[in-house]
């Protein structure tokens, strides 16, 4: 057996054997029941048979048959009642990102179907396997000015990888199987299934209700690259003097961290990441160059990109942020090897010398086999200690600001105190705005895997609070911390009731400066300081959270921050730390478009 295939097989066989044994018991119990069941009951069964353990959402009139089936059947799944549909989707997204399993959210017709959209499109564009189930008006009521009627299929089509609204109960099992197949094969993404009210009450044969449980986790069916192209890529790497890996989220999604490190070590090649690619390599490793790009990148990391003579984009789309609007690396100035599971991504933004369409784990393993030492060790042209020097220079600037006792508290001080306070296994969820560039640039991700993430596809505010709930359920034994600006807090505050009701031990950190800071910073640098419609009132977020029942602190003194964070993290329930901080337009954020 080929090494890469053998490696994948060995890593999955134990888990799949257990899953199949469980499903066999489930199917046996199903077979002893009545010959037919309702479509609502079949939907519950199909989720169970695909290994779903948790559903995030809230009910509406059109969802009543589905909810009744959830209430009656012995499915073993947990339903988390949320306070709105957008955050149900964000919770499912966070769950999927840290667990690798399909995240499931549900919503009723009309407003529920429209509210859930931001989470669906974020997951789809971030290659997160997410299933959105919406209920709908009856098929027989279409076109009759029925309350909450809208064309859900048309609404969801551009936002999903796979999408349907059922017309018949008999089609439900095939639709669920197709949706799970689409979500977890190739480039993972989001799927939508619409369940009209009368379809939910229709019946179908129980024998049609079956599933392949391996499709409940992504990636489920890996595809490898062409051997000839692997040989070409290896030849190009051997001729390079200063190869560099730039890793996107595809490396973490594929769980290819070990294969990446083995190959990078053989080549003595630095490994840089996008924000979504953090966790591809332990950022304390000697080859870890840190985050590159216009959001979280620094002059030191940019210099490494500019010094490379060959770039390997691995699970990375080479988009505008990663490449600082396609200027670093310079187009045509370097050789390019592009690895991506989606062939259409390859060559979109850079001329590619070797395209490698395939799963990142299989592809990096195959490349690693080409450097087995038979033709001698690879001679790197990178100066000794180049990455370490760049990292030291970057953090020297950061540490000087992080030590400041100035008020309002500097963002650098917040990141430094968080880095000291958090366990290396902690999952940190960062909202856009102030948290994202600072945490991606300066928060040290220890170990590999999904430990720090943000919603980088569309960057909507209000993500982190809800996504941290999903992350908690995805890894319940690990501490979760959500870091957000006060603009984001205002968009998500209602879900604190959910957190308190469920007694979730999540710590929320609010960076408060009473401004939509990213936009104000853009107005400062690009529009001659013509500030307009970006400032709002100061809020005591700790008092707001306390009203929900969250143990909370408000911090204005830098010297108090370490002690408060320690107390908040040690608490067994939900906690919130409200930090009055320097606004972005006055800070030295690692955002290249704001730097002269």
Would you list the DSSP string of 214-252?
Answer: GGGBSS-B--PPPHHHHHHHHHHHHH-SSEEEEE-HHHH
Q: What is the pLDDT along the chain (596 residues), one digit of tens a residue?
A: 343 444 444 444 444 444 444 444 444 444 445 799 999 999 999 999 999 999 999 999 999 999 999 999 999 999 999 999 999 999 999 999 999 999 999 999 999 999 999 999 999 999 999 999 999 999 999 999 999 999 999 999 999 999 999 999 999 999 999 999 999 999 999 999 999 999 999 999 999 999 999 999 999 999 999 999 999 999 999 999 999 999 999 999 999 999 999 999 999 999 999 999 999 999 999 999 999 999 999 999 999 999 999 999 999 999 999 999 999 999 999 999 999 999 999 999 999 999 999 999 999 999 999 998 766 678 889 999 999 999 999 999 999 999 999 999 999 999 999 999 999 999 999 999 899 999 999 999 999 999 999 999 999 999 999 999 999 999 999 999 999 999 999 999 999 999 999 999 999 999 999 999 999 999 999 999 999 999 999 999 999 999 999 999 999 999 999 999 999 999 999 999 999 999 999 999 999 988 75
What's residue 30's pLDDT?
43
Cα 4 to Cα 359: distance, rounded to the nearest angstrom: 11
What's residue 596's pLDDT?
57
Please state the pTM of the whole predicted model.
0.94
CB 593 within 8 A of CB 573: no
Residue 121 backbone dihedrals phi, psi, to 5 degrees: -70, -35
- 403-590 is classed in which CATH architecture? 3-Layer(aba) Sandwich (3.40)
CB 231 within 8 A of CB 367: no
CA 393 → CA 289, 290, 397, 420, distances in Å? 12, 13, 7, 20
CATH of domain 227-379: 3.40.50.1220
- Location of each CATH 3.40.50.1220 domain in the chain: 227-379
Q: Give the three-state DSSP class for 271.
A: strand
CATH of domain 35-216: 3.40.50.970
CA 47 → CA 131, 164, 211, 213, 575, distances in Å? 10, 16, 9, 10, 33
What's residue 594's pLDDT?
86
Cα 134 to Cα 269: distance, rounded to the nearest angstrom: 47
Q: What is the DSSP letter of 515?
A: B
Cα 356 to Cα 340: distance, rounded to the nearest angstrom: 7
Q: Tell me whether strands 203-205 and 36-38 are parallel, antiparallel or unpaired.
A: antiparallel
- Location of each CATH 3.40.50.970 domain in the chain: 35-216, 403-590
Cα 382 to Cα 375: distance, rounded to the nearest angstrom: 20
Neighbours of 435 (CB within 10 A): 27
What's residue 33's pLDDT?
56
């Amino acid at each position: 057996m080929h090494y890469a295939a053998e490696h994948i097989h060995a890593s999955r066989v134990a888990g799949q054997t257990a899953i199949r044994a469980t499903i066999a018991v489930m199917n046996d119990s199903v077979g002893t029941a009545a010959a037919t069941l309702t479509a609502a009951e079949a939907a519950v069964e199909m989720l169970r048979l695909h290994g779903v353990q948790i559903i995030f959402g809230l009910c509406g009139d059109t969802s009543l048959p589905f909810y009744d089936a959830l209430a009656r059947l012995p499915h073993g799944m947990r339903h988390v009642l949320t306070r709105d549909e957008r955050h149900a989707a964000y919770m499912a997204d966070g769950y999927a990102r840290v667990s690798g399993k399909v995240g499931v959210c549900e919503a009723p017709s009309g407003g529920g179907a429209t509210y859930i959209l931001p989470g669906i499109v974020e997951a789809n564009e971030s290659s997160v396997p997410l299933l959105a189930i919406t209920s709908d008006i009856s098929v027989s009521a279409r076109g009759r000015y029925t309350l909450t009627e809208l064309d859900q299929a048309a609404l969801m089509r551009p936002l999903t990888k796979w999408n349907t609204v059922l017309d018949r109960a008999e089609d439900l099992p095939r639709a669920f199987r197709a949706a799970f197949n689409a979500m977890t094969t190739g480039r993972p993404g989001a799927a939508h299934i619409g369940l009209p009210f009368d379809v939910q009450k229709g019946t179908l044969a129980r024998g049609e209700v079956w599933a392949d449980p391996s499709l409940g986790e992504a990636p489920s069916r890996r595809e490898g690259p062409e051997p000839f192209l692997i040989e070409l890529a290896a030849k190009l790497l051997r001729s390079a003097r200063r190869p560099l890996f730039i890793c996107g989220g595809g490396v973490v999604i594929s769980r290819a961290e070990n294969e990446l490190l083995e190959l990078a070590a053989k080549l003595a090649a630095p490994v840089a990441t996008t924000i979504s690619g953090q966790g591809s390599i332990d950022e304390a490793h000697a080859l870890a160059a840190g985050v590159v790009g216009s959001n979280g990148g620094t002059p030191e990391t940019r210099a490494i990109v500019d010094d490379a003579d060959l770039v390997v984009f691995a699970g990375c789309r080479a988009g505008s942020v990663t490449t600082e609007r396609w200027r670093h690396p310079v187009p045509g100035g370097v050789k390019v090897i592009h690895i991506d599971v989606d062939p259409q991504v390859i060559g979109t933004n850079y001329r590619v010398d070797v395209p490698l369409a395939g799963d990142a784990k299989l592809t990096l393993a195959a490349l690693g086999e080409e450097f087995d030492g038979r033709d001698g060790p690879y001679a790197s042209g990178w100066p000794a200690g180049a990455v370490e020097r760049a990292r030291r220079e970057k953090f020297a600037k950061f540490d000087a600001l992080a030590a400041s006792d100035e008020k309002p508290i500097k963002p650098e001080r917040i990141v430094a105190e968080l880095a000291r306070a958090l366990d290396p296994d902690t999952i940190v969820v960062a909202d856009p705005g102030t948290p994202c560039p600072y945490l991606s640039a300066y928060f040290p991700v220890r170990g590999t895997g999904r430990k720090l993430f943000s919603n980088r596809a569309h960057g909507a505010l209000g993500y982190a609070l809800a996504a941290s709930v999903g992350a908690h359920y995805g890894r319940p034994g690990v501490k979760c911390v959500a870091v957000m600006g006060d603009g984001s807090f205002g968009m998500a505050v209602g879900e604190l009731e959910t957190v308190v009701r469920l007694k979730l031990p999540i710590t929320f950190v609010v960076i408060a400066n009473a401004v939509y800071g990213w936009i104000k910073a853009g107005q400062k640098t690009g529009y001659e300081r013509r500030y307009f419609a970006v400032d709002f009132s100061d809020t005591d977020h700790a008092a707001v959270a306390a009203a929900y029942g969250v143990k909370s602190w408000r911090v204005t003194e830098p010297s108090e921050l370490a002690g408060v964070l320690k107390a908040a993290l040690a608490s067994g329930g939900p906690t919130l730390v409200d930090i009055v901080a320097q606004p972005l337009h006055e800070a030295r954020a690692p955002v290249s478009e704001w730097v002269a």
